[in-house]
Structure 1
């Protein structure tokens, strides 16, 4: 039997040599029926073979040096593993195949917790046995499978003992990297609390945990954008105040337990929030551990500026907040070709990071006033066009966002800086106009196309409303010209709705006409044009609703004598186009309002 403690690191040549040597004496034809029956999951045939030849339980039955247990694990026949274990001695479970893996290494790559439990119950030392490369089953689980339940089970049943030493040996850094990248931040926290050395593991690029997290903005709340209703759920969902492993976790509110079982999307939102919460706690724990180190050179190399600039360019404000809390001097970090932190935030349009830095006004102003090569002010940096990662509906609103960002950065500069020219002889505003010229043209076309489309609908509504006002339902009295249904309450609903439809559609037409006749200068996209579009869409939506109400009232008057129940289906059907219009246009409408009237850049995060 070859144990992991004495096995050398196996190269591919060594494996080939082992296979060639083994096959010289291996009776492939004899073990083939057993091999095939295990692959098929046929326990009856497998048991019959073993009863006839008990040595087949402990011998190698494949050319890769795998035992019957290995073969069952490779073929994911979990029920066979549990049955074979009943007849197999515990020491056989430590056997390595020619690849250098035990049976538990293969089981760790699957999702059968019961198979892993059965193996570890039979031989608890299996979790410590490393493969030919020094990797324990835990590392295999994180690398190849990423089944969180399996990873948790192996973490809780793995110690830092020899020969594997998974939490202090050479593979510890890889384990931390994979756990962090997989988003298992609660597991990483658990290990860091039990093995503090994992928090300060670093390589030539600095802290491993911080370097990985700085490349994962979606693992933080600042880098995740939810829809309105999901955002509401996100802020309402409770999370555990203290960390507990899964078999000990308690969710305080049973209502949320029931809701997330009924609505899977709620569970998704809750899992996302948990990942965000644990990511922040992990960052805080890592910085806390690093700050306790007395070696000044250590933390300078531990908190590598590259990770800070990655977090800045990705907008991960949670990492930066903790970083500046424990190591305030790092706000002065400078990267060649990047500049200072605040300049990187400006170049990458990271409003949340910018807001965080603005909470330190003196430092922020000093950094903003610094020139970047070649002779660029921060306003020049803000003037550069950057393709937006976020989805912004319409080029005009992307231009609006660019203008707002430029104006906000310009406020921090000295007024004299407005006239400072870069090496190309251009001021910041000249750079902005030149860089955004294509976007200005796209925004102009988008605004005109939208206005033309909406004008068509508004014109149609106005025409219908005007015609309906002249030819009222039921006609007029021949003697006095008064509508026949004038005394009917339903007629009053029709008359008021029809008038509102006409007035709102005409107002909408005027607003869209004002857009078409605008000069379309850059400054117009900040407030003037978006405000007209918002008012026009609001009036148009009101006109659609009023038209449907007027139509429903008119139809009800004509049918109420014969069909008393007619108003009910008419009202339901009238809601269909209103709902469709709201579904298709309301998200854009809300986005326009937030973009135009929301204090995007003045909020403190």
Structure 2
């Protein structure tokens, strides 16, 4: 890529020789005060030196043959760059230093648009001047700080004129590749619409643009795993915000994460448009051999293994036969998706009009059926709370893909003499043990809480607030409505905690076989946690009701702070355990893999 070439504009030996040659007649001590003043941003000292020696304005003041303007640009002294530009002759702005750069090359690597505007206003041809490798300042703006505003400015002010020809010459390939890698897909689209031939530039690895995009899953929606709230914002926020849209503009100012989500959505939308445009330009060539090499097996493999559904979906729409791409040492696309645990890609293939059943039925070089491949443990499994639910997810994935495979393949042995289920058990032995320990540790912890609640609830039931009538043994507050709240809540707390206790006890006594992690164990844990949460809530309600009965005669306002304080442990438990409970319910009863069958 161009970034590697930019760091080697001139070989070290040639640069050393040029510096040595220039240094022979260079008066370093004379220009040193000017050099240091510029680097410090000291305009007063700089101006005083130039007033004393006006020739220093255009002279080479460093051993790298840099002018004062070069020094200011290299040192990021943007105000001095603007002031020196006002006095510098226009033709001097195109001077190259021994590295091979103009002052605009260095300014392009920064983020100060005003400095770039001042230079271009002084000499409009400055954007066309290339370094020793033929790279314009536009290329430099993409390979450095990556200031999108700077890139946009240089794109709009750079033409394809000779001798640079940045959009049709040798550097055009690097330009397209760097823009794509930087994620400036809207800028890339702007250029491609004006120079469509750039859409089909390729090398030995196929399309430059598709090759780069296929390694960047975060540039697509399928490569992002947002949380619940960010997913909600993602679907609501518009990509383009109009100036009149006060609500969204205000919200993203107050909540920076909204702007981050909107920027990500904008990048995703632009990336999809870019892929569509590139594929449409390639298909327009109507050359089978061209697009077969244009969308290479490497691109298909990268997109499949990274889970970039958008590239595959668009590629298959324009070139349906790509679905039958056979990737060396990996197999067909379906097998590659299974190997790399890419459920979204596998789902896409299952929904396609082209029947991928033949790919699922195919055996690889090691006599592995698709069921063997899905049985392997994937290290890149998405983050799931708890080893037990990672085991559940693995089993669900295995069983759903197994349904699509031929029934006879369940007993087919690979070259190691193992069936798919044997491979699964061996590959997931460590995860099974981790899941077993996680289930036991969680159950033991929750059992302790459930036991304490049951003990408290039982004790409260036989020693009711206010005591009992000595003659009849009836609670004194029996006619009080608050007492009924206490009684019902205490009873619910006792029953809920006992139910929870029994569920956790059942988990501890389970056999912990692989199949138990699909439904049996998760169901018990879900029921146990749900009833434990109910027990905590009803315990707090019972406590609040009891305390209110005892204090309401003297402190009529007491029920309000009591109720508020009782909410604290409930909210804490909800924050700490409710997300886990929701994840478990979704994982156990959700239709995560239903689209595969």
TM tier, smaller: over 0.9
1:297 aligns with 289
Equivalent residue for 2:591?
A: 599
Alignment of 1:563-574 (within 5 A): 563-574=555-566
- CA shift, 1:202, in A, is 0.7
Secondary structure of the corresponding residue to residue 289 of structure 2: helix
Counterpart contact for 1:181–1:213, Cα < 8 Å? yes
2:359 maps to 1:367: yes
| Contact 1:238/1:252 (<8 A) preserved | no
* Corresponding residue number in structure 1 for 2:189: 189
Aligned residues between the structures: 590
- Cα separation, 2, equivalents of 1:472 and 1:162: 95
* SS of aligned partner of 1:426: coil
User: Contact conserved, 2:93 with 2:123, CA < 8 A, in 1?
Assistant: yes
**For residue 4 of structure 1, what is the aligned residue in structure 2?**
none
**More off after superposition, 257-266 vs 18-27:** 18-27
**Displacement, 1:289?**
0.8
Is it true that 1:12 corresponds to 2:12 in the alignment? Answer: yes
State the 1:361 CA deviation: 6.5
Point out the more displaced range, 357-366 or 133-142.
357-366
**1:105 aligned partner:** 105
CA contact (8 A) 2:522 2:588 kept: yes
Give the corresponding residue for 1:44. Answer: 44
Once the 2 structures are TM-superposed, how far is the Cα of residue 565 of structure 1 from its aligned partner? 2.4
Instruction: Give yes or no for contact 2:387–2:434 (8 Å, CA) kept in 1.
Output: yes
What is the Cα deviation at residue 378 of structure 1? 0.7
Are the aligned partners of 2:19 and 2:64 in contact in 1 as well (CA < 8 Å)? yes
Per-residue deviation at 1:555? 2.1
Describe the shift of the 1:330–1:389 C-alpha distance in structure 2 as closer, same or farther (beyond 3 A).
same
Aligned mates of 1:362, 1:170 — CA distance in 2: 40
Q: Which runs of structure 2 are paired with 1:30-429 in the superposition (5 Å)?
A: 30-240=30-240, 250=242, 253-360=245-352, 363-429=355-421
Counterpart-to-counterpart distance in 2, 1:114 and 1:52: 28
The 1-side partners of 2:183 and 2:460 are apart by 61
Cα distance, 1:418 vs. partner? 1.7
Residue 604 of structure 1, CA deviation = 7.7
Deviations, residues 88-116 of structure 1 (Å, cap 9, x unaligned):
11111111111111111111111111111
Residue 165 of structure 2 aligns to a residue whose secondary structure is coil
**Does the Cα contact within 8 Å between 1:365 and 1:412 map onto a contact in 2?**
yes
Asked if residue 542 in structure 1 is aligned to residue 541 in structure 2, the reply is no
Alignment of 1:28 with 2:28, yes or no, is yes
Confirm or deny that 1:575 pairs with 2:575.
no
Task: Mark the CA change 1:487 to 1:13 in structure 2 (over 3 Å): closer, same or farther.
Answer: same
Alpha-carbon displacement from aligned partner over 1:168-209 (angstroms, at most 9, x marks no partner)? 222221222221112111111111111112211111000111
Query: Is contact 2:9-2:99 (8 Å) kept?
Result: no
1:436 aligned to 2:445? no
**In the TM superposition, what is the alpha-carbon distance from 1:20 to its structure 2 partner?**
1.4
Query: Which residue matches 1:486?
Result: 478
How far off is 1:64 after superposition? 1.3
Instruction: Tell me the TM-score normalized by structure 2.
Output: 0.96
TM-score, length-normalised on structure 1?
A: 0.95
| Distance in structure 1 (CA, Å) of the matches to 2:342 and 2:288 | 30
1:546-566 per-residue CA deviation (whole Å, 9 max, x = no partner) reads: 112222222222222232322
Asked whether the 8 Å contact 2:400–2:596 carries over to 1, the reply is no
* Distance apart, 1:478 and its partner CA: 2.0
Contact 1:239 1:251 in 2 (8 A): no
Deviation of 1:292 after TM superposition, in Å, equals 0.6
- For 1:474 and 1:187, the matched residues in 2 are separated by 76
Alpha-carbon distance in 2 for matches of 1:359, 1:578: 44
Q: Distance in 2 between matches of 1:367 and 1:448?
A: 41
Query: Which of 486, 492, 495 matches 2:487?
Result: 495
Cα deviation, residue 417, structure 1: 2.0
Of the structure 1 ranges 559-568 and 406-415, higher mean CA displacement relative to structure 2 is found in 559-568
1:246 corresponding residue in structure 2: none
Paired residue secondary structure (1:600): coil
Aligned-pair CA distance for 1:472: 1.7
**1:458 paired residue number:** 450
Q: Partners in 2 of 1:96 and 1:361 — Cα distance?
A: 58
In the alignment, structure 2 segments of 5+ residues that lack a partner are 1-7
Unmatched segments (≥5 aa) in structure 1 = 1-7, 241-248
Moved over 6 A (4+): none
Shift of 1:283: 0.8
Q: Which residue of 2 aligns with 1:5?
A: none
* Deviation string, structure 1 residues 17-72 (Cα, Å, up to 9, x no partner): 22112222211122122111111111111111111111111111111111111111
Query: Does the aligned pair in 1 maintain the 2:469–2:475 contact within 8 Å?
Result: yes
- Distance of 1:122 and 1:603 partners within structure 2: 61
3-state SS of the aligned residue for 1:603?
helix
Q: What is the CA–CA distance in structure 2 between the aligned matches of 1:112 and 1:362, rounded to whole Å?
A: 52
Write the distance in 1 (CA, Å) between the matches of 2:542 and 2:243: 51
